[in-house]
């Protein structure tokens, strides 16, 4: 077990590093240009703010040369004189990111006005967790029960409806259903607001109520599209298990069908279900970029979307990193749980 955990952890760390490296390499050259422009701007601002320096030059050329020299000096101090793909710089960037130091955003700010990428991300993350993790939990509860129910009555109406609903709902993009829901419930019948961003400040006592009210439409949409696939998955696992000998044996002993379904069969279907649960919980943190963009929910997904539209690279890197970390942690937990439930996995055969 120890060896298993260690190899998994090593793999995960490797993956994290590779993801980071790829991201840095992909946006590195743009990032470099932005950083250098920032320094030019900074130096010019500093010099022009100080009239005594400006006055001490006799010609424009001399003044320009002075500024150029200052810029180069600063570039050298920050190590920007080397090309962006030099191992030192890439390594340094990666090291900084590892320690969650993402630097400052170029355009975006948090609601409080901080441009520190870490602040921005940790402001958005709880909102995403609130919406999508809640949705995932609701989905999995409905899914597991509906799945178990239809698995215990294969071929019944419940089973058929669940299966066909699962197949149909999984081929609709969630964000498109979101657009339709906005069209129906905020335009045609004005029940819910079209934009999911609460319109009062977070210090107001009515904020929570308003937040929940704005959350309703996206939540309903996500749950509606999500639970079918879950139920279908659980059903298929259960169908496989219901055909096993030990279930048959329990049936012949005379244990009630209901008890067999919900205790014995469900327990045996647990490993894959738990794995998928862990994966979808982590997926719920980042895979919602498009849905959040549709509903204008002020979470990680919309942050990511905004960062891409204005090419705010520090935010893109930071958000990718955080999402990858969560994703990896949950894969890791899923692996461990799988190993715990199913001892065969641990030995690696």
Partner 1 sequence: MSSISPQEIKQEFLKSKTGITGIIILSSLIIISVIAIITIPIETFQEWNNPEKWISYPKVATPVWVNLFMIEKIPEHKILDSPNIQTNSNGEVFLTSHQFGVNFDYDDFPNDFIYIFSSEYSGSPILEMSVIRPDGMKLELISTSLPHANSEIIHSERIFSTDSSIKKNLLLQSEKFLFNLDNLSSEDIVFSKSESNKPLKGNYIFSIDTFSINSQPQSLESEFIIGGKAFGIMGTDELRRDLAIGLLWGTPLALFIGLVVSIASVVMGLLYGVYAGFKGKKTDETLMRFNDVLYALPALPFLIILSVTISNSIFVMVGFLMIFGWVGIAKVARSMSLQIKTRGYVDAANMMGQKDSKIVLKHILPQLLPYAFASVAISVPAAITTEAGLSFLGLGDPSFPTWGQILHDANTFGASSRGLWWWIMPPGVMVAITGLAFVFIGNALDAIVNPKLKR
Task: Return residues touching partner 1 (CB under 8 A).
Answer: 11-12, 14-15, 18-19, 22-23, 26-27, 30, 154-155, 167-168, 170-173, 175-177, 179-180, 182-183, 186-188, 194, 236, 239-240, 243, 286-287, 289-290, 293-294, 304-305, 308-309, 311, 316, 319-320, 323-324, 327-328, 331
Closer CB to partner 1, 12 or 108, in the complex: 12
Q: Min. distance of Cβ 120 from partner 1 in angstroms?
A: 16
Q: Min. distance of Cβ 179 from partner 1 in angstroms?
A: 5
Closer CB to partner 1, 144 or 238, in the complex: 238
Helix 207-242 to helix 134-152 angle (10° resolution) is: 30
Q: Are 181 and 221 in contact (CB under 8 A)?
A: yes
Report residue 9: phi and psi, to 5°: -65, -40
Measured distance CA(66)–CA(115) in Å, rounded: 30
Closer CB to partner 1, 67 or 286, in the complex: 286
Closer CB to partner 1, 115 or 287, in the complex: 287
Helical (H) or strand (E) element with 47: helix 2-49
Helical (H) or strand (E) element with 174: helix 174-182
Measured distance CA(95)–CA(87) in Å, rounded: 12
Closer CB to partner 1, 211 or 287, in the complex: 287
The H-assigned helical ranges of 79-133 are 87-98, 117-128
Q: Min. distance of Cβ 95 from partner 1 in angstroms?
A: 20
Looking at residue 154, what DSSP letter applies? T
Measured distance CA(2)–CA(61) in Å, rounded: 68
Q: Min. distance of Cβ 187 from partner 1 in angstroms?
A: 5
Q: Min. distance of Cβ 50 from partner 1 in angstroms?
A: 38
């Amino acid at each position: 077990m120890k060896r298993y955990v260690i190899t998994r952890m090593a793999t995960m760390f490797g993956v994290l590093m590779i993801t980071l490296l790829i991201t840095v390499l992909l946006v590195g050259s743009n990032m470099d240009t932005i950083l250098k422009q920032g320094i030019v701007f900074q130096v010019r601002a500093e010099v022009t703010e100080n009239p005594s320096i400006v006055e001490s030059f006799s010609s424009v050329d001399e003044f320009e040369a002075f500024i150029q020299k200052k810029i180069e000096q600063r570039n050298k101090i920050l190590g920007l004189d080397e090309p962006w793909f030099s191992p030192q710089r890439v390594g340094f960037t990666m090291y900084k990111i590892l320690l969650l130091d993402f630097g400052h955003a170029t355009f975006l700010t948090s609601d409080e006005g901080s441009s520190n990428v870490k602040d921005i991300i940790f402001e958005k993350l709880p909102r995403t967790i609130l919406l999508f993790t809640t949705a995932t939990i609701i989905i999995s509860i409905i899914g597991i029960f509906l799945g178990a129910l239809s698995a215990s009555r294969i071929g019944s109406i419940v089973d058929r409806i669940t299966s066909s609903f699962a197949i149909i709902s999984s081929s609709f993009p969630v964000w498109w259903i979101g657009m339709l829901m906005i069209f129906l419930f905020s335009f045609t019948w004005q029940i819910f607001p079209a934009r999911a961003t609460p319109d009062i400040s977070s210090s107001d006592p009515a904020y929570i109520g308003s937040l929940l009210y704005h959350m309703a439409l996206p939540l309903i949409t996500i749950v509606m599209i999500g639970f079918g696939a879950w139920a279908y998955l659980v059903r298929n696992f259960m169908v496989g298990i219901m055909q096993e000998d030990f279930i048959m044996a329990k049936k012949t002993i005379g244990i009630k069908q209901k008890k067999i379904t919900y205790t014995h069969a469900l327990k045996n279907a647990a490993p894959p279900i738990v794995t998928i649960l862990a994966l979808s919980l982590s997926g719920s943190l980042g895979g919602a970029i498009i849905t959040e963009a549709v509903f204008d929910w002020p979470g990680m997904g919309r942050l990511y979307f905004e960062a891409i539209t204005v090419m705010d690279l520090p935010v893109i890197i930071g958000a990718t990193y955080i999402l990858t970390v969560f994703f990896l942690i949950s894969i890791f937990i899923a692996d461990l749980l799988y190993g715990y439930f199913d001892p065969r996995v641990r030995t690696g055969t």
